[in-house]
A and B are shown apart, each in its own frame.
Chain A
Amino acid sequence: MEPILTINNLTKKFGYLTAVKNLTFTINKGNVYGILGPNGSGKSTTLGIVLNVVNKTQGDFHWFDGNTTTHDALKHVGAIIERPNFYAYMTAEQNLKLVCKIKGVNHSKIDEKLAIVGLLDRKNHKFRTYSLGMKQRLAIASALLNDPEILILDEPTNGLDPQGIHQIRQIIKDIAATGTTILLASHLLDEVEKVCTHVVVLRKGEKLYAGRVDEMINSHGFFELKADKQDELLGLLEMSSNFGKVKIEGELITAFLEEPMSASEFNKLMFEKGIILSHLVKRKESLEEQFLQLTDNQAN
């Protein structure tokens, strides 16, 4: 696999506070990566360092094969950070022309990219007249101007209304479908779950996990159960070696599997024991539950 960004033992201190601690990970071409962590976990700082706006304290990073300077590498990167930063008094087109001049690319791409984010008909309107969702979409168009090898998005849906969030996610998915590598920083778990294939989980500047989203936790999933004979069901579950933890919330019983078992297998077993289930769902932990589990484990 072709590496796009390699980070080695990166550390950033702001005075006494260590924002990023000994961070190491690699971004490879063609995947959609998420950097996941609560607010203040060092996501934006890490991105700031690799984008040359924050100075690192220790460690190093390099773009692509390591033979390009960060300054040159950034010409092949598209990035938006936190909130869209443009010149309020310029129109969308004028703003993008400025970005073209910085990146050293032709003006011809402007209309094409504005069309991707659905702003072509507003291109002659001043940036200050835009809604937050439109500003964010303009930022994405601007980041795409140089047909980047990697698109970096820091909290792209922050502060948007549901419709705006949906639009942005659709745009990200469309871009990912064209084969562009994407690095998405977010504190929203379901965003990462919906969009990303790989994830780096950060907490207080430390890496908790890096790898595929679906392999984040070795787990066989769990059953959500309801039955008229709740007490008998509970007794059976606790006796069985197949199950570990069992949780009861009102009528709903949640039983976590210790080893693989299909829903039909379980249903058959219960039927043989004379228990008729009124509700049976097999589920895997959502990223949110996995994330909380990860961060809990570290805290203990």
Chain B
Amino acid sequence: MLRLLQLELQKLWLNKASKVLIIISFILPFTVLILSSIKINFFGFFTLELGELGIFNFPIIWHITTFFAAQFKFFFAIVVVSMVGNEYSNKTLKQNLIDGLSKKEFILSKFYTIVFFSLCATILIGLATLLIGLYYSSHTEIAIIFREVNFLLAYFVKLVGFFSLCLFLGMLLKRSAFALGFLFLLFVSESIIYGIMRWKLASETADSIHDFFPLQSMWNLINQPIQRIVMTKFPDKAEMMYDFAVHWYEIAIVLGWTALFIFLSYQLLKKRDL
């Protein structure tokens, strides 16, 4: 396992483009996180301090940081798609197999890299959140600090699921640009199909089918936190209540998709003549 991971990390790390993208995908969320946590003085007119809004309080901070950090996953998605696309266009995939890597090992080395990256991202976000939270939060009891730490698990699963989808699209289409285009197409078509279902079916049926769609299921893992922030300001408005928690079945659906994407990638490679 370590051998396969080392193999892929060497391929990525020595490539300037993917190195830059990986660094960006780690640094950018942090910069945003840190910038938002400092006091910004707008030329003496007013000071903006997001910490004042209470968004850095435990336990809501777990929800907020994981949600916003997840929006930066697109950078690593480009890396995933190109690490497959390049192997096809440079024919190094063929050479790897001839050199004695099995098709299974090839897919696994990509998958391990995805898991490894997601794990690093999760740990870093976890640490950063803990530190910022400890600095700003008005509640510092252990029980409250770690109450919604399961958002980290959701974040990890969300990353692994999304990158597995990218891996599969890369394997399917062999070209990075096509794969990214297809990802966008998938995003649009999920909305269109949802729209049609809302129109033809009962809204509850449509919603529950929609929750099984790949991108929607990943989105569901960490619901948008804006409404929750507003809720904390107006606790008496009952109509604003929504279910933002991480549920086991949401995680199960995404893990199911992940397994399917990896399995299909392997089957594609097995069937294909290179």
Interface residues of A (CB under 8 A from B): 14, 48, 51-55, 71, 74-75, 77, 79, 81, 83, 85-90, 94, 97-99, 101-104, 142, 146
Contact = CB atoms under 8 A, between A and B. Distances in A.
A48 B97 CA distance: 10
A149 to B, nearest CB: 13
Contacts of B101: 102
B94 A85 contact: yes
Contact of A74 (B3, B100, B271): B100
A55 B271 contact: yes
B274 interface: yes
Interface string B198-224: 000000000000000000000000000
Given A74-B98, A85-B95, A88-B90, A54 B11 contact: no
A94 B10 contact: yes
Interface string B1-13: 0010011001100
Q: Looking at chain B's contact residues, is the secondary structure mostly helix, strand, loop, or mixed?
A: helix
Contact of B100 (A48, A86, A103): A103
Contacts of A103: 99-100
Contacts of A101: 3, 6-7, 10
Contacts of B92: 85-87
14 contacts: A48-B273, A51-B98, A53-B273, A53-B274, A75-B100, A85-B91, A85-B92, A86-B90, A86-B95, A87-B11, A87-B90, A89-B14, A98-B11, A103-B100
Given A71-B100, A94-B10, 12 more contacts: A51-B97, A53-B94, A53-B97, A54-B274, A55-B271, A81-B95, A87-B11, A88-B90, A98-B11, A101-B6, A101-B10, A103-B99
Contacts of A14: 273
A124 to B, nearest CB: 13
Chain B interface extent, by class = 20 to 34
Nearest to B104: A71
A170 B92 CA distance: 27
A94 B11 CA distance: 9
Contact of B99 (A88, A94, A97, A102): A102
B14 A94 contact: yes
Contacts of B91: 83, 85
| Shortest Cβ-Cβ A-B pairs, 5 listed | A85-B95, A85-B91, A74-B100, A53-B274, A75-B100
B16 interface: yes
